[in-house]
Structure 1
Amino acid sequence: MIRLVAGLLVAVVTLALPAVLDDSALAVYILLGLAAIVTVGVSLLMGYAGQVSLGQGAFYAIGAYTAALLALNGVPPLVGLVAAPLVAAVSALVIGTPLLRLRGHHLAFATLAMQLILLSLAGQLEITGGDIGLQAIPQFGVGSYEMGSAPAYAYMTWAGLALVMLVTHNVITSRPGRALRALATSETAAASSGIPVGRYKLVVFALSAAFAGLAGGIYCFYTGYVAPGSFPVLISIQYIVMAVVGGLGTIWGAVVGAAAITLLVQGLNSLAALPGMPTYAPSVLSYAVYALVLILVVLFLPNGLLPAVAGRLSRKRGSPPVETR
């Protein structure tokens, strides 16, 4: 009952906010939703499959460039939006086949290198617009309807997040989801139990990439512009911080973490824009705060914000811990 009431309350607030927020706050709200979409995939990949990826920003970029290139070449935007997660997933299958033979920090560094290579290629290829990027991307639309307002993109973003959360919930509550949890605990034990470890790792890697590709597709239509600078390496680190802060292996934890870090970053950007602050202040503050937040969470909230709050509320009521998935 509590979960139902909380879910309805979140849905009402989510639908009401685009109508009352001003333009700057609405932009943050949309970017928060896009970050949450990617972070849910990161939480699934790291929290359930135990695979560390520092390259989710690459799949975010693949989705954005896919949708942008198709739209600029006359393909209906809806087709481009559908193609964005599909191309990102296929790319993950191709890239993941050799990379997922690695483990731990080796896999993390390999996925980071993948994003660096992708950004380098995007900055040099003529088809992607080089360092200048792709501009004047058409607005998203279906048939004669064209989505030209920020509130419409907000609803679109959060509808995409709801879809991603539903898919993730269905995955983790299914038999393959239980196999993923076993895989995260011990790949050797999972393999000895008959679980096809390599195939499961590849599939969940592709699924998390598809989520990032969907977010990238929405992003390109919202901003009307994509370039290598839109997808810095820091963005992949940011997604991991969001997942860890909110609670790895939880769906709502990914949303909570995305909200906390996005609002924190906006506050730091406002601080860095104050008179007298050096030009490098935004990047320095971001890296410093990410490190500080990670240290504090690992020391005092090792399971993340949402599991910690849920556990404390359960102890106060004297009931079993609340399920936070």
Structure 2
Amino acid sequence: MKKVAAETAAARVIAGSTAARIAAGAAAVAVALALPLVLDDSALAVYVLLGLAAIVTVGVSLLMGFAGQVSLGQGAFYGVGAYTAALLTLNGFPPLLGLVAAPLVAALFAAVIGMPLLRLRGHHLAFATLAVQLILLSLAGQLEFTGGDIGLQAIPQFGVGSWEMDGAAAYAWLTWGALALVMLVTHHVITSRPGRALRALATSETAAASSGIPVGRYKLVVFALSAAFAGLAGGIYCFYTGYVAPGSFPVLISIQYIVMAVVGGLGTVWGAVAGAGAITLLVQGLDRLAALPGMPSYAPSVLSYAVYALVLIVVVLFLPQGLVPALTRRDRPPKTSRASRGVPGD
């Protein structure tokens, strides 16, 4: 009887926790849809950039938190998506086709370079992906069809047929709709059988391979999927700004995505959104601080690196699992005692 009662109580706690999470998710969706109606233009710009960063960070969290692969080159895939959408649109193709092609081309590019790169592990893989971004930035600054250092300008607004977006609020809804799609895809991936295989892969590639998991294929697929997320964000970014150049995708942006994922909580979908929000708002505050009279020209980059380092140290020391796992830990169902599980005491 005690065992049945304990199991019933645990089931009620789990059901209550699930209902609370569903309610919290519905509230978050309602707030996300309502905010563009009340924010001014400057706040809307931050809101759009926050959503774009969250899209990329979800892919980083999936890649690092579940597959155990470290990438410092997500900014490269972000740029590939942006340039793909911009080039197609400037050459007469519909903007919708450009936006659809952006994640596909980014994923294809990631799959091609991933076949040799994913033979590396740990910091070797991180440095290799960083090198890829540096090479792409150098090429984009020299090739004529990418506009060189000047970049591509006068990119048409996103639209379907004769309808075009004409305001930041529309781009905010597009961005957060894309984020919802990315979160939904990621949720289905991590709760599926391949998701369990990814967890095993992150724990030990040798053990996963001995269990029959095709390690190389899974690593390549999740690498390409995270790149597709970044490419989608890059496609929206090019239409929103109407301009892309090598300077739009600095190396610091890839480091920023890593910091966002770690701060929010690696291996969690909502953690990526929370981390992106926290770091984006922090960066905006630092930019305003760096713009104050008397601040040197190098203040923005110096402040960014210093604060990123400080934030990482604080999170590693006091919140090693990130913000979201630390805040939701109390919602986990209580463990049943040994007696309630039918296990005799010591």
Q: TM-score, normalised by structure 2?
A: 0.91
Aligned-pair distance for 1:189?
0.1
Residue in structure 2 matching 1:159, options 177, 201, 219:
177
**Partner Cα separation in structure 2 for residue 303 and residue 211 of structure 1:** 23
2:294 is aligned with 1:276: yes
Aligned to 1:172: 190
Q: Name structure 1 gaps, 5 residues minimum.
A: 321-325
CA deviation vs aligned residue, 1:251-274 (integer Å, no higher than 9, x gap): 000000000000000000011111
CA deviation vs aligned residue, 1:14-73 (integer Å, no higher than 9, x gap): 011000000000000000000000000000000000000000000000000000000000
Residue in structure 1 matching 2:106, options 84, 88, 94:
88
**Partner Cα separation in structure 1 for residue 208 and residue 58 of structure 2:** 24
**CA RMSD across the alignment:** 0.8
**Matched letter for residue 177 of structure 1:** G
Give the 3-state SS of the residue equivalent to 2:141 in structure 1.
helix
Residue in structure 2 matching 1:141, options 155, 159, 176:
159
Correspondences of 1:1-325 after superposition (within 5 Å):
1-311=19-329, 313-314=330-331, 319=334
Give the 3-state SS of the residue equivalent to 1:268 in structure 2.
helix
Aligned-pair distance for 1:319?
4.1
Aligned to 1:323: none
Aligned-pair distance for 1:8?
1.1
**Partner Cα separation in structure 1 for residue 77 and residue 331 of structure 2:** 38
**Partner Cα separation in structure 2 for residue 204 and residue 4 of structure 1:** 27
**Partner Cα separation in structure 2 for residue 307 and residue 152 of structure 1:** 32
**Partner Cα separation in structure 1 for residue 311 and residue 142 of structure 2:** 35
Aligned-pair distance for 1:143?
0.5
Q: TM-score, normalised by structure 1?
A: 0.97
**Partner Cα separation in structure 2 for residue 5 and residue 101 of structure 1:** 43
**Matched letter for residue 283 of structure 1:** S
Give the 3-state SS of the residue equivalent to 1:248 in structure 2.
coil
**Partner Cα separation in structure 2 for residue 286 and residue 244 of structure 1:** 16
Count of matched residue pairs: 317
Give the 3-state SS of the residue equivalent to 1:129 in structure 2.
coil
Give every structure 1 segment of 4 or more consecutive aligned residues whose post-TM-superposition deviation is greater than 6 Å: none
CA deviation vs aligned residue, 1:259-315 (integer Å, no higher than 9, x gap): 00000000000111111111110000000000110111011100000100111x337
**Partner Cα separation in structure 1 for residue 220 and residue 318 of structure 2:** 33
Aligned-pair distance for 1:4?
1.3
**Matched letter for residue 323 of structure 2:** L
Give the 3-state SS of the residue equivalent to 2:253 in structure 1.
helix
**Partner Cα separation in structure 2 for residue 86 and residue 222 of structure 1:** 19
**Partner Cα separation in structure 1 for residue 43 and residue 170 of structure 2:** 14
Q: Name structure 2 gaps, 5 residues minimum.
A: 1-18, 336-346
Give the 3-state SS of the residue equivalent to 1:124 in structure 2.
coil
Aligned-pair distance for 1:148?
1.4
**Matched letter for residue 300 of structure 1:** F
Identity over aligned pairs, percent: 84
Aligned to 2:3: none
